[in-house]
Amino acid sequence: MMASLALSLSRNGGRLSATDFTWAGTQHYREALSIDTSHTLHPEDPWYWKLLGGKPNDPRLYTSLYNSLFYSLIAVPLGLAVSLAVALLIHRPIPGMGLARALLYLPSVLGGVATLAIWSWLLNPQVGWINRALRLTFDLLDGIVRPLTGRGTTSWPAPDWLYSPISCKPALILMHLWTTGGAMLIFIAARRRVPPELYHAAQLDGAGAFPQFRCITWPQMTPAVFFNLLVSFIFSMQSFNESYLLQNRRQNDGILFLALYVYQTAFEPPYSLGYACALAWILFAVLLLFIVPVTWTSRRWVHYVDGH
Amino acid sequence: MLGTDTAPGGMVGVSMMRRNFARDVFIYGAIVPLCAFAMLPLIWAGISALKPLEDVYVFPPSFSVSDPQWSNFYEAVTRLPICRFLLNSTLITLTSVMGAVLTSSMAGFALARLAFRGRKLCFAVVLVSMLIPTQVLLIPRFLLYDVLGWIDTYKPLIVPAWLGGGAFNVFLFRQFFRTIPLAMDEAACLDGATPWQTYWHVLLPIARPATVTAFLLSFVFHWQDFLDPLIYLSDFTTYPISVGLRMYQSLAGTWANLLMAASLIALVPVAVVFLLCERHIMQGLGVIRADGRREVQEP
């Protein structure tokens, strides 16, 4: 780590080796983060440039940071909500749940290059099943909507998924939802530890399903929620494979993640290793910027049974 | 937990049973589509892999295959040296996983059972190191292996696994060992066992769920690892399957059916290992509480 910090403060001679590093001070950080305030903003510039107050000196850094945050801040809470809901559905020992658990956990084990290849083909706008299913749904909807509103749904466009700057992020979020089985297992384990007496008592008091969830299940499971939240956020901010393997020109850098940008900076010409280290430290700083407040406020919303 | 919802006897019991039945129907109704969604990519890959090449690009895509082309699988492994890639992957994965499970269980044992100065600090370091993004360590590690002359060998992929085997595995073993009663160690100690013997003959056999979980997680991690081989290997005959598939992917426009077949073949070992380990996972992951609830004992 110290080596990384030192490297981020130095400059190398455009070669992929440990030789010829010279001291550069905070130059990389200034280069990466600085913003040209004299730039006049155009309407087609990204909206967050207005927040920054000008054109960034390294626009791709901000693009990748924006992409990583956008992806993580949507995919992680959505994934947790889905896996929590599924865990509450299948935690009961009724027949078939063991099989369902295995089937739902399997994707998170399989995630990798092979499944990314399969997904990219499944999401193919022309010959993939997802868009085929969407079009069939639109056709069905047409029968209901057209008599009511006079306008059909058959002509609704199906998204281009990985081939458009707008829908490439939802495509990755969909893939993320597919792999949330690990969080689900931890939720199931947590749900099984909730003492059944609490539910007996609540039922005697006539509490319905939602109050039971709000007052018993949720507080008892907050430690698992906290754990899963941190782990998934850390993982999704470091996503590399998705953006490396599924990138194409038509996305217009729509899924360029920070991890990929670090890799490109370091291992593609001109091999700016020092600058890449500085970028990696910016990634770490952003991660901490989110983790530290969550951990601090966790004392208020995470319920510890023994009060530790 | 049927017991939670059934009230004792009489009218209430009957209405409860009816409600339970309705609830179960609802659960099955929700679970079946979810499982279908989970299996969708695999089914899709299976069907696409069996289609003749010209059918793959037909619009609209069909949901079935009329004339299964089993020879596609044979062609998929011969057009690129997929068998070679699989062999490489097996070699890298098995050696790394052995190291990861062994060393992380040792580290977990030390953190759970041995009294030494700085134990709490060591554990804190393990926990904090889970937060550090891989990207921060990527470049210094690369330069270190460069200096050691390890580039273009399997050493950068295998040796780190033998040096602790991942913070998460250490954490998992430490938590699991702490749920085992201290009386076990004391009994072994009275019989004259050294800490080594206690670890190897007493605690490790009991910690089987943790071992299986760590085995599965590291197997998956090393089998699917893409970034490290991408950086450290340049000769394509040494590629593991993850990077090898990448070569197919760049050809996806040409042979989508073969890509699907090759992807399925790459997933088979993971699926097999998963099915073998699945029973123990719940128990293994059950010790992760992250909530400081009192465990069986506080050593």
Burial profile B46-79: b = 16 or more Cβ within 10 angstroms, e = fewer: bbbbbbeeebbeeeebeeeeeeebeebbeebbee
Q: How many domains does chain A have?
A: 1
Interface of A with B in 76-105 (CB under 8 A): 86, 89-94, 96-97, 100-105
- Average of pLDDT values for A164-191? 88
d(CA A244, CA A261): 9
pLDDT in tens, A44-69: 777 777 777 777 788 888 889 999 99
Within a domain: A199? yes
Written as six digits, the tokens of B270 are 């993971």
Instruction: Please report, for residues A304, B145, B173, the alpha-carbon distance to residue B228 in angstroms, rounded to integers and kept in the order given.
Output: 39, 12, 25
Q: Does residue A81 carry a pLDDT above 90?
A: yes
Considering only CB atoms, B136 lies closest to which of A92, A245, A281, namely A281
What pairs with residue A23 in β-bridges?
Answer: A10
| Domain range annotation of chain B | 2-69, 73-285
Q: Quick check: A113 and B135 CB within 8 A?
A: no
pLDDT in tens, B105-132: 998 888 888 888 888 888 888 888 888 8
Res. A103: pLDDT tops 80:
yes
Please state, in angstroms and rounded to a whole number, the distance separating the CA atoms of residues A39 and B180.
Answer: 64
Cα separation, B87 vs B93, whole angstroms = 10
Closest CB to A113 among B138, B242, B252: B242
Most A CBs within 10 A among B42, B44, B132, B136, hence the mutation to make, goes to B136
Cβ atoms A128, A167 nearer than 8 A: no
**Contact of A272 with A265, CB cutoff 8 Å:** yes
Q: Determine which of A6-10, A159-163, A202-206 has the lowest per-residue pLDDT on average.
A: A6-10
Inter-residue long-range contacts of B120-123, CB under 8 Å, 24+ positions, other chains counted: B123/B174
Of B129, B139, B227, B254, which to mutate for an interface test with A (greatest number of A Cβ within 10 Å)?
B139
pLDDT score recorded for residue B297: 35
Q: What is residue A77's predicted lDDT score, i.e. its pLDDT? A: 94
Q: What whole-number distance in Å separates Cα of residue A166 and Cα of residue A173?
A: 12
Q: What is the pLDDT of residue A14?
A: 47
> Quick one: what percent of chain A has pLDDT higher than 90?
7
- Predicted local confidence at residue B235, as pLDDT: 84
More confident of the two residues B154 and B67: B154
CATH code for the domain in which residue A96 is found: 1.10.3720.10
Please answer whether residues B152 and B232 qualify as being in contact, where contact means their C-beta atoms are separated by less than 8 angstroms. yes
pLDDT over 70 (residue B294): no
For residue A262, tell me if it sits in a domain.
Answer: yes
List the domain range (segments joined by +) for residue A89: 49-107+167-270+280-308
Interfacial B residues in 195-224 facing A (CB < 8 Å): 216, 220, 223-224
Query: In terms of CA atoms, which chain B residue is nearest residue A204?
Result: B7
Per-residue pLDDT tens over the stretch B32-68: 888 888 888 888 888 888 888 777 777 677 777 777 7
Q: In angstroms, rounded to a whole number, what is the distance separating the alpha carbons of residues A170 and A87? A: 24
In DSSP notation, A2-57 reads HHHHHHHTEEE-SSSSSS-EEE-TTHHHHHHH-EETTPPPPTTS-THHHHHTSEES
* B40 contacts in chain A (CB < 8 Å): 122, 129
Homologous superfamily (CATH) of B73-285 is: MetI-like (1.10.3720.10)
**Contact of B81 with B64, CB cutoff 8 Å:** no
Contact: B35, A223; criterion CB under 8 Å: no
What integer pLDDT is reported at residue A19 of this predicted model? Answer: 56
Placement of tokens 């790394």 in the chain: B96
At B5, list the tokens.
């919802």
The pLDDT of B227-253, averaged and rounded, is 82
Binning pLDDT at 50, 70 and 90, where does residue A73 land?
Answer: very high
In a domain, A206, yes or no: yes
The CA distance from A286 to A65, in Å, is 9
pTM of the predicted model as reported, rounded to 2 decimal places? 0.83
Cα torsion B223, A283, A228, B172: sign? positive
Residues of A in contact with B257 (CB under 8 A): none
B6 has pLDDT over 70: no
Q: Is the pLDDT of residue B16 over 70?
A: no
> Which of B44, B143, B227 is facing A118, going by the closest CB pair?
B44
Between CA B254 and CA B76 the distance in angstroms is 13
Say if residue A157's pLDDT is above 80: no
Q: Taking CB atoms and an 8 Å cutoff, what residues of chain A touch B294? A: 306, 308
pLDDT at B46: 86
> Residues A46, A215: contact at Cβ < 8 Å?
no
Lowest mean pLDDT among A225-229, B9-13, B163-167: B9-13
pLDDT at position A9, please?
54
Q: Which of B41, B63, B133 sits opposite A118 (nearest CB)?
A: B41
Dihedral angle over CA of A261, A266, A270, A274, nearest 10: 110
Is the pLDDT at B95 greater than 90? The verdict is yes
Question: What mean pLDDT value characterizes chain B?
Answer: 80
Asked if pLDDT for residue A32 goes beyond 90, the answer is no
Taken as a whole, chain A contains a residue count of: 308
Query: Is A24 within the bounds of a domain?
Result: no
Tell me whether residue A194 is in a domain: yes
pLDDT value of residue B175? 85
Q: Residue B176: CA atoms inside 13 Å, Cβ hemisphere, count?
A: 32
Q: If we measure between CA atoms, which residue out of A253, A281, A277, A299 comes closest to residue A68? A: A253
Residue A114: half-sphere exposure toward Cβ, Cα within 13 Å: 32
Terminus-to-terminus CA distance in chain B, angstroms? 33
Query: Would you call A3 and B60 a contact, using CB atoms and an 8 Å cutoff?
Result: no
Percent of chain B with pLDDT over 90: 8
Burial B88-126 (b: 16+ CB within 10 A, else e): bbeebbebbbbbbbbbbbbbbbbbbbeeeeeeeeebeeb
Is the pLDDT at B171 greater than 70? The verdict is: yes
The pLDDT, as a whole number, for residue B89 is 92
